[in-house]
Amino acid sequence: MTELRSKLIKACHDYLQIKVAVVKKAMDGLKEDMESESKSSAGDKFETGREMINIEWNKLSIQLNQYEQLRNILKRIEDQKPTGNAILGSVVKTDKENFFISIPAGEIKLDKENFYAVGIKAPVAQVLLGKKEGDEVIFNNREFRIDKII
């Protein structure tokens, strides 16, 4: 695996680590809220409060699960060998922008270059998939020439 791909994968892992930490902190706060929730004389208010906490907990659990799925995608990419075509795990350098087809982690700045980490279902990834060096693609009414695929 190239050094650039390794750095991009690490940046995506770091992105996920931050996201997971935020969700876990929110879940810890909800856990404290649930434990401190005491039954008052207004029983309906108590039940409503607990239900609101449960709803939020479920949303956060779903987010954690999604982050775990993204982490699994990164693990698959780590073991992958580059091919001549743009596939999941490819770094695609164009004459205008650079893309890392991996997970939706947004902009990553590395070695004075910007890369956009995009998920495989992202519209730009769909345009790039299967393409090879030298191909031209159009996305959002902009024409890109693929200079390099790593």
Band (pLDDT 50/70/90 cuts) for residue 1 is: low
Cβ of 127: how many Cβ atoms within 10 Å?
A: 16
pLDDT in tens, 45-82: 557 888 899 999 999 999 999 999 999 999 999 988 87
Containing 114, the helix (H) or strand (E) segment is strand 113-119
With residues binned 3-state (H G I as helix, E B as strand, rest as coil), the percentages for the chain, rounded to 5, are: 50, 25, 25
CB atoms within 10 A of CB 103: 25
pTM score, two decimals?
0.87
Q: What is the spatial distance between Cα 134 and Cα 136, in angstroms, rounded to a whole number?
A: 7
Of the chain, the percentage scoring pLDDT greater than 90 comes to 78
Does 5 have pLDDT greater than 70? Answer: yes
